[in-house]
Structure 1
Amino acid sequence: MMTCQRCLMDCGKRAGIGFCRLQSKLCLGANAVGIQRLSKLNKRLEMQLLELRRIIEEKENIAEMAKVENEELSRENQDLRRDIERLRKEFTDLPTAPVSLEPPSPYGSPADPTPTEEQQLDVLSETPETAPNSKEEELSLECRHCHEWFPGITQDELGLHEDSHRLCPYCTLICDGVEQTIFEDHVFSHEV
């Protein structure tokens, strides 16, 4: 019969062996429960250990890939630097042509003042609508606030349009669609 040290100690205090047997069965049951708990804990720790090993292996793979990529980029960088040096040498070896500070003529080179056939056709194909400074542009007036063009209106009509804008007196911000309180807050913000 198996008894634990605790049971023997308890038996000395209590009367009879019957109690000791009962106590030893309880102790054996408690030991079995403890073993099961330890087994579960052991399994959980083993699972965590496996997971940590997997994570470490994954990190090592990532580090290896980063190392390989870094080496490839380094080689590519060296190749690009060699290309830049080669291009610099080629560029310095090129003969330099004199640069004219005059704008190019729309009719060809200054040595040949006659316009090309294509340029002559462009000038001949201009219509009054496409010609610069046509009469319609002269009749259009621009609002000085919103910069919108109004063809065919008088100066008085333009003045009415310009007066219809609600402007900040400090920064001339157009506040046409803004609520009055927001407009006032904006104006008063300049006084601070």
Structure 2
Amino acid sequence: MNIDLDELKVVYSNRNMSAKLWATEWALGLWGKYGALKSGDTVVDLGCGERYAAAMSLDPTIRYIGFDVNQESIEACSELYPQYRWLYADLKNEMYNSEGKIDPRTFQFPIEDSTADLVICASLFTHLATIEVAENYLTEIRRMIKPGGHLWISWFRSPPNEVCSDARRTVFTEVEIINRISGWLELIFTTGCMSGRYHDQWVMLGKAR
């Protein structure tokens, strides 16, 4: 990938996103190290916001698809980055879209099979509330990711946290998480979420088999 970190700092400063710079640089460094993102790749960002689109815009060869349940966010991003594909669905989520009409347990993402070289789910599964929703999302991710493509995903896990079905801070057991990715995702990097700190997430980078 051809993303200049000095340019990234300027872009994030101009967009009032400097607080997110360190975590973005960290992710980009890991994606580069493990070959998860290259120039010319297609990136699918679920629960997107603007953060990674701003970074991807520095490499015009990267194709980017952003999805969110926040309609205002999608509309704003589509104006800022019209070169990308932006998708909205009225999915019910008690934190981000409590009046949503679509059941996330059965939703099919409007993204074609074997599309993504990299799927990003940053702080998404921490707000899905139930394992049934998480399982459906993982099924859809498995469908849309290319063989050999990569998944960047984060969770709150138990232990050390208490299991929680609140969309504000969803916590799944480690066994539930591993059972749903084993067999199709090879974990090549993991870190975090053993301290019990409120924002300490278990971050994974995996490669689809």
Greater RCO between the two (CA within 8 Å, min separation 6)?
2
Instruction: Indicate the structure (1 or 2) with the bigger Cα radius of gyration.
Output: 1
TM-score, normalised with respect to structure 1: 0.13
By percentage of residues, which structure has more helix?
Answer: 1
TM-score, normalised with respect to structure 2: 0.12
